[in-house]
């Protein structure tokens, strides 16, 4: 009986360590001091949610305005000295949406939004964010 309890304790200890080791591997592959692909994908997902909540959207090419059904206007603009793309609601607040950005441009499409982001290191990322309905 004691031998079975010891084997169970060892098995539980090994099972507890394995997820921690697996979670460390993807994070070590991404540089933390530059433009991160994971952060880019997260930004696109959040932007799609915002776009789906908007009744209309507009842009001047550098700033994106999302006009929501509740009367709020959400804007995404670039703060050049800090190289951050920020989100503001009704012109207030300062929420960092994407870091290490040198330039951003928006173009309105029929069913979504074309966007191009140039990172600090010169990488150019293009995306089309579609509206679901």
Domain containing 67 equals 37-130
Contact (Cβ atoms closer than 8 angstroms) between residue 129 and residue 48: yes
Note whether residue 75 is domain-resident: yes
> What's the pLDDT tens digit per position in 87-132?
999 999 899 999 999 999 999 988 889 999 999 888 999 999 988 7
Which tokens belong to 16?
């507890």
Number of domains the chain contains: 1
Note whether residue 70 is domain-resident: yes
In terms of Cβ atoms closer than 10 Å to its own Cβ (0-12, 13-18, 19+), residue 102 is: middle
Note whether residue 96 is domain-resident: yes
> What's the pLDDT tens digit per position in 60-82?
888 999 999 999 999 999 987 88
Note whether residue 47 is domain-resident: yes
What is the model's pLDDT at position 109?
85
What is the model's pLDDT at position 26?
52
**From CA 35, how far away is CA 40, in angstroms rounded?**
8
**From CA 83, how far away is CA 123, in angstroms rounded?**
14
Among candidates 57, 60, 34, which has minimal Cα distance to 47?
57
Note whether residue 105 is domain-resident: yes
Judge if pTM exceeds 0.85: no
Contact (Cβ atoms closer than 8 angstroms) between residue 29 and residue 22: no
Note whether residue 71 is domain-resident: yes
Note whether residue 124 is domain-resident: yes
Residue 30 has pLDDT above 60, yes or no: no
Q: What are the strands of the beta sheet with 112-119, ordered from one edge? A: 101-108, 112-119, 124-130
Note whether residue 104 is domain-resident: yes
Can you list the pairs that 66-75 forms with residues at least 24 positions away whose Cβ atoms lie under 8 Å?
74/50
**From CA 10, how far away is CA 20, in angstroms rounded?**
16
């Amino acid at each position: 009986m004691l031998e079975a309890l010891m084997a169970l304790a060892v098995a539980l200890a090994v099972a507890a360590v394995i997820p921690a080791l697996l979670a460390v591997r993807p994070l070590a592959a991404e540089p933390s001091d530059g433009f991160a692909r994971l952060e880019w994908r997260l930004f696109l997902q959040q932007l799609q949610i915002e776009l789906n909540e908007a009744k209309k959207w507009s842009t001047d090419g550098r700033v994106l305005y999302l006009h929501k059904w509740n009367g709020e206007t959400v804007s995404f603009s670039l703060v050049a000295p800090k190289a951050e793309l920020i989100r503001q609601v009704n012109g207030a607040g300062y929420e960092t949406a994407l870091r290490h950005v040198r330039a951003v441009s928006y173009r309105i499409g029929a069913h979504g939004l074309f966007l191009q982001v140039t990172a600090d290191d010169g990488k150019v990322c293009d995306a089309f964010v579609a509206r679901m309905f």
